[in-house]
Structure 1
Amino acid sequence: MRAAARHPHRTRRPAPALASAFALAATSLGLWASDSAAAPAAVPTPDHVVVVVFENHAYDQVMGSSSAPYLNSLAAGGASLTASYAETHPSQPNYYALFSGETQGVTDDSCVDPGFSAEPNLASELLGAGRTWGSYNESLPAEGSTACKSSDGKYRQKHNPWFGFDNVPTSTAHTFAAFPKGTDYAQLPTVSFVVPNMCNDMHDCSVGTGDTWLKNNLKSYADWAKTHNSLLVVTFDEDNRLSGNRIPTVLYGQPVKPGSTSGTTYNHYDVLRTLEDMYGLPHAGNAADAKDVTGIWTT
């Protein structure tokens, strides 16, 4: 259940005369306007963002590892968040946290009832603001399928939180075969999530398998993003339960300062907040109290 919104208390003192009352009222209105005005976002506004989510590996298992040469090359040419953390265990609640700012009461990896929540989320916010959204889900049985899993077990609904929301059209959930090929990436939605299957996301297969998949399937987009004001974000749902839930998070593209790092502590809510602020969106759930990723942008 979503926590009730918190409102700061404002103390008003009675004025002895009408003129004082008007003055206090004007001051109060000024304070309200100041408090409610959104601070300018210290983040860029990419034309396109693609977020890729891998599984169950700690920062030190991937960053600096010879098993992940491509992901490390993205960090070298982009930015690495060296103190990036997931929220909890197991996997599924973290996906909901990253997508909607809350775990939505999900505590395990069981399949959910499609559309069980009407809470705000990144997709509903983008669509409400006239932007576009899409997910590309490897081994999804069919376009828009809300199935719990594929017949071969390579696809699992637990890694696809958008199916839990009735305000996200299932028509925006695509198979990975629908992801643009070549250099025709301008047709991508404003923000996309890409979810590899249970092998290629490093859950059932090795770090090397996932890294090769990333290179084979997203390198063309990454190269394109570098010259087309677009962004690739690669992160993980959780660690291996042995590293305090510290995970790799790498950002790459034209808005990113090459070779930059940030040791600021960030989590899934901060990443969501950053994506929201890139497009002037409202803040879902705990993203309202989160912070933007800063210090890695070219402007």
Structure 2
Amino acid sequence: MGIRLKLGVVAGAIALTAAGLATNASAADGHAAQASNRHGPALDHIFVIMLENHSQSSVIDDVNAPYMTELAHTYSMADNYYGVTHPSMPNYIASIAGDNYGIQDDNDQNVVNFDRPNLAEQLTAAHIRWGAYMEDLPADKLARQWPDNTALYAKKHNPFVLFDGIKNDPAEMAKVKDYSQLGTDLNSPDAPQFVWISPNQCHDMHGGVYVAVPDHPETPCPYGSTKDDANDAALKQKADHFVEAAVDTIMSSKAWTKRSAIFIVTDENDFTGNPETDGWESAEGCCDSPYVGNADPRVPGWTGGTYGGGLIPAIVVSASGPRGYVGHTPYNHYSMLTTIEQNWHLPYLGHAGDTAGGVVGMWPLIQGH
């Protein structure tokens, strides 16, 4: 399965022009050139594809994820990238806000009057076009899932509609769209410069179960019971096909330039039933992951300490960046946010840019140095 390089993208390790770059990293990350002092952005377009609940070891080099594996080995991957915490929703919030704000659950009904600064509002204020594309987005963009709508879409995987500054602003909500509109938008004269993609729960490796109602079919993507069982393998295969189609849509579009990059990550590692971490494979973390105390009722069985999201896959496809590059620096979703904000000279949100806490940009995976 060869990866198609399109629109003038040259196969080989061709670094982005780095004139004017200044290092903004800690001494411990001295090799990581940052883009915060450029006269213009290093990247024209940044794309994020957020997948679900799988560890690095479950995806990279897995027989059921051949396309993502090929991307990882052909372009760049970080072998020390963690989810910020557990479970899903706080990772989505952290990815665009720089903080999980103490949220350690998936109950999106509790996220009300959530008036917090976020990346989308930053981009709008800086006149940088953005779009968030959700597969199977309901007509009522604030709906949750079946029986309110469908179990394949989950509001908790759509962080944009959780923030008051977006959900209460029709102009901002208009930028939250169904995934089916992505191809058209990327080929328009006003293509978004920042794009977020959340697949549905059949295609993000999460899995979903329909509520039993008359005339409603059984789910086409049941949850895996254990890591790498038949259901889990099927979920990875579906996600792999989705990512391949999404990357093809992006690379075939007018928005894919020689100064473009795609980040492909999961929110957190596998759910394995580990009682010590409320079911997650591990709670390893880095880079300002939250501290959760002993016997916190939100995390039964946890003995206290940094509560990270575990080691997860992180692939960066950069049109003119390195090939076959593996970065060993510790990163998490705050690092991805840091990179985006540095690219467009935006102020840091929350823990983004906190080099003292180990939060640095991911420029080596984009530029190869």
- 1:71/1:182 Cα in 2 relative to 1: closer, same or farther (>3 Å)? farther
d(CA) in 1 for partners of 2:36, 2:247:
34
Counterpart secondary structure, 2:262 = strand
Q: Counterparts of 1:186-265 in structure 2 under 5 Å? A: 187-204=190-207, 205=221, 206-222=235-251, 227-240=257-270, 241-243=280-282, 244=284, 245-265=310-330
Divergent runs of 4+, >6 A: none
1:171 lines up with 2:144 in the alignment: no
Give per-residue Cα distances to partners, 1:38-66, cap 9 Å, x unaligned. Answer: 9626x962211110000000001000112
Q: Which has the higher helix share?
A: 1
* 1:279-298 superposed matches below 5 A: 279-289=344-354, 290-298=359-367
Q: What does 1:145-156 align with in structure 2 at a 5 Å threshold?
A: 145-150=141-146, 151-156=149-154
Secondary structure of the structure 1 residue equivalent to 2:242: helix
Superposed CA deviations along residues 153-172 of structure 1, whole A, max 9, x for unmatched, are 11110011111212222111
Match of 1:83 among 70, 73, 80: 80
Q: How many angstroms does 1:271 deviate by?
A: 0.8
Equivalent residues of 1:54, 1:201 under 8 A apart? yes
Q: Closer, same or farther in 2 for the Cα pair 1:176/1:287, shift >3 Å?
A: same
What's the CA shift for 1:220? Answer: 3.1
For residues 240-288 of structure 1, the C-alpha deviation after alignment (integer angstroms, 9 at most, x for no partner) is 1224310001011324211111011001111100111011011111114
- Residue pair 1:114, 1:146 contacting (<8 A) in 2 also: no
Distance 1:163 1:39, change over 3 A: closer
Shift of 1:107: 2.0
Partner of 1:287, secondary structure, is coil
Please report how far the alpha carbon of residue 178 of structure 1 lies from its aligned counterpart in structure 2 after TM superposition.
1.2
SS in 2 for 1:118: coil
Which sits farther off after the overlay, 65-74 or 91-100? Answer: 65-74
Letter of the 2:151 partner, please give it.
G
Residue 217 (structure 1) shift: 2.9
Tell me if the contact between 2:36 and 2:343 (Cα under 8 Å) persists in the aligned partners: no
**Which residue is 1:122 aligned to?**
119
> What is the DSSP-based 3-state SS (H/G/I as helix, E as strand, rest coil) of the residue aligned with 2:165?
coil
Q: Which amino acid aligns with 1:238?
A: E
Q: Normalization by structure 2: what TM-score?
A: 0.65
Change (3 A) 1:170 1:68: same
Contact 1:78–1:252, Cα closer than 8 Å, also in 2: yes
Once the two structures are TM-superposed, the CA of residue 294 in structure 1 deviates from its matched residue by 2.9
The change in CA–CA distance for 1:64 and 1:230 in structure 2 (over 3 A counts) is same
Q: Residues of 1 paired with 2:67 and 2:53: CA distance?
A: 18
In structure 2, the CA distance between the partners of 1:296 and 1:223, relative to structure 1 (3 Å rule), is: farther
TM-score (norm 1): 0.80
- The secondary structure found in structure 1 opposite 2:46 is strand
Give the C-alpha shift of residue 116 in structure 1: 2.3
Larger radius of gyration: 1
Kept in 1: contact 2:75–2:318 (CA 8 A): yes
Which whole-Å CA distance do the structure 2 matches of 1:296 and 1:81 have between them?
7
The Cα of 1:148 is off from its aligned counterpart by 1.3
Residue of 34, 40, 44 corresponding to 2:37: 40
Equivalence for 2:55: 58
